[in-house]
Structure 1
Amino acid sequence: MATNEMRIIIKMRNLVLLLLIVFCQTGMAAESSVGVSPQTVTASVGDTFTIDIIVDSAGSEVYGAQYELYFDNTVLNATSQAQGTFLSQDGENTNVPADLINNTLGKIVYGEHKIGQVLGVTGSGVLASITFETVKSGTSALTLSYVMLMDSTTKELAITVSSGTCTVTEPGATPLTMPDYTDISIEDANNMIESNPEVIMLDVSARDEFDAEHITDAIWIQISNASAITELNEYKDWNLIIYSADGAESREACSVLIEHGFENVYNMVGGIAAWRVTFPIFSAPKPIATEPPAPSPSPTPTMATSSHPTPAPSSEDNEDNKLLGFEVLFAIAGIFAALILKRNNEGR
């Protein structure tokens, strides 16, 4: 009798344990993902190839998506970006407020969302396809950054992001040994700073640009100054994150540091222009414009022209007249602007 009761108790315990396992697995929803496919590309100089940006919703409904992709513009040249079928798979219309290629910066931007009060889509598929032509031998990261998925309530979904790499070789020639630095997104850079105390951020932009704004605790360095690089020798075992105004000059700076024996060198793609969208920066206060004093009236005016000088436009006025680049198109799409504003507020 006691043996039978013990068997029943053991079976009940096993059943409870099994139910707990099933409940935990059900409650732990998988994250949606966005990634480059294929993740590894090998090509020869003069070739063209296409990568897909794949979205897997992992059961969540997706109403809109956006990404930035950075590449080495000395190795690759982006020729086109085509809309995929992921968001329109249900036959509903979508809008593409951002579809831009900038080969000068090595930057691609894409944003798409559904239209009207409809539910998002589920499953997996191609959000967009990008075609490149190879320029010279070398290795270029295909780094996804500022990636967002949202549902029909404008809630941002938790996601995992997978970037890619392209290696280009010269037919019949010995492949060049490329600088061993790593391209990282602004999100990866921020995670590295928060999780590792032995990280230094180096700003290699012009000094006046650094004085105007820079990432908090970043150190300005003139990369052409050999003595300045020598002063960094005590940090050779640290992780060095290099950035510039827009991410273009930092690649060259990374190569210089590699040549000087630094091993843990990371290039933050997009530079401070990408960083400021999501994370805080230090900005120097702008001078306050003052009204020029009115001249004393002349007792015997001889001309009808005004004696008051015409004030020159302030630097703030000039800034207002400039296009901000890719962020302007994101602002046009209200559904993405809400998410960007939300991120900025959280970053502060």
Structure 2
Amino acid sequence: MQQLRLKLHRPALVLLLCWGLIVQVAGSTAAQEARIWLEPTMLNLAPGDVGTLDIRVENVIQLAGAEVYLTFDPILLEVVDTDPSAEGAQIAHGDFLSPDFVVRNIADPATGTVDYAIACMPLDKAVSGSGVLAHITFRALAEGETLVAIRSALLSDVQGQPIAIETDSGVVVIRRPGPSPAVWALIGLVAAAVAAGFVVVMWRTVKTR
């Protein structure tokens, strides 16, 4: 009878073990999904144009503090200062984590770096989920392509513990705009008309000989 009970309970035991493994794997996968990235991943500008990249965080739990350090080519881009009254160039705060305590907000035009660090106060204002941490507005200086790279990022929770994250950088492409499709169509019509006129002239010349 005891052997029969073991046989009956063994499938249930196997199911419980499998469920435990699934929960453990799902939990570790969810913990790895938190990330910080730039949106859009590619920004297209013409020289003199202004465009914005958002620093976004995704799938965080109880985020209380954040620091992000980025680099870019200062020959091609410059950061547009969002707070002229403050010393140096600043980037704009996002609407996700409240910037109650600004540790650092410096964009260095000489080195092409941005160092941004904030924390919420009090800690019960910590946030979970996804949102925009900050906005970086660039002005294109010359033609070319530059990586706007997240060199380091640190997110911390209400306990002061680091949040495991993945990072993704962005690219800014600066090109002078070419003719619009309408202009190309007009050029095609003019070329066709010139070619037709040339054919008519040649035909008349041959015919009169």
TM-score, normalising length: structure 1: 0.43
Equivalence for 1:118: 124
Equivalence for 1:69: 70
Are 1:82 and 2:92 counterparts?
yes
More strand by share: 2
* Distance in structure 2 (CA, Å) of the matches to 1:44 and 1:117: 43
* Distance in structure 1 (CA, Å) of the matches to 2:16 and 2:124: 42
Equivalence for 2:152: 146
Are 1:163 and 2:165 counterparts?
no
Equivalent AA in structure 2 for residue 33 of structure 1: R
8 Å Cα contact 1:136-1:170 kept in structure 2: no
Equivalence for 1:105: 111
1:133 Cα deviation after fit: 1.1
Matches within 5 A, 1:8-23: 9-10=10-11, 13-23=14-24
Aligned-residue RMSD, C-alpha = 2.7
* Distance in structure 2 (CA, Å) of the matches to 1:107 and 1:53: 14
* Distance in structure 1 (CA, Å) of the matches to 2:175 and 2:168: 24
1:103 Cα deviation after fit: 1.1
C-alpha offsets along residues 12-48 of structure 1, whole Å, 9 cap, x if unaligned?
A: 5345323432343235542321111111112222221
* Distance in structure 2 (CA, Å) of the matches to 1:7 and 1:153: 46
**Greater C-alpha Rg:** 2
Cα pair distance change 1:117/1:41, threshold 3 Å? closer
Specify the SS of the correspondent of 1:123: strand
1:153 Cα deviation after fit: 2.1
8 Å Cα contact 2:31-2:164 kept in structure 1: no
8 Å Cα contact 2:64-2:123 kept in structure 1: no
Equivalent AA in structure 2 for residue 86 of structure 1: F
* Distance in structure 1 (CA, Å) of the matches to 2:49 and 2:28: 47
Equivalence for 1:34: 36
C-alpha offsets along residues 146-201 of structure 1, whole Å, 9 cap, x if unaligned?
A: 3111112222221111111111112339xxxxxxxxxxxxxxxxxxxxxxxxxxxx
Equivalent AA in structure 2 for residue 45 of structure 1: P
8 Å Cα contact 1:63-1:121 kept in structure 2: yes
* Distance in structure 1 (CA, Å) of the matches to 2:126 and 2:154: 14
Equivalence for 1:128: 134
Count of residue pairs the alignment pairs up? 167
* Distance in structure 2 (CA, Å) of the matches to 1:41 and 1:108: 17
C-alpha offsets along residues 104-162 of structure 1, whole Å, 9 cap, x if unaligned?
A: 11111211101235352111111100111111110110011231111122222211111
1:78 Cα deviation after fit: 1.1
Cα pair distance change 1:29/1:167, threshold 3 Å? same
Equivalence for 1:286: none
Specify the SS of the correspondent of 1:64: strand
Equivalence for 1:235: none
C-alpha offsets along residues 266-304 of structure 1, whole Å, 9 cap, x if unaligned?
A: xxxxxxxxxxxxxxxxxxxxxxxxxxxxxxxxxxxxxxx
Q: Among residues 140, 143, 167, which one is paired with 1:137 in the alignment?
A: 143
Higher relative contact order, chain-length normalized (CA < 8 Å, sep 6+): 2
Q: Among residues 35, 40, 55, which one is paired with 2:57 in the alignment?
A: 55
Equivalent AA in structure 2 for residue 48 of structure 1: V
Equivalence for 2:46: 44
Select between 93-102 and 140-149 the one with higher mean Cα deviation. 93-102
TM-score, normalising length: structure 2: 0.69
C-alpha offsets along residues 185-236 of structure 1, whole Å, 9 cap, x if unaligned?
A: xxxxxxxxxxxxxxxxxxxxxxxxxxxxxxxxxxxxxxxxxxxxxxxxxxxx
The answer for unaligned runs of 5 or more in structure 2 is 1-5, 82-90, 180-209
Cα pair distance change 1:21/1:48, threshold 3 Å? same
Specify the SS of the correspondent of 2:126: coil
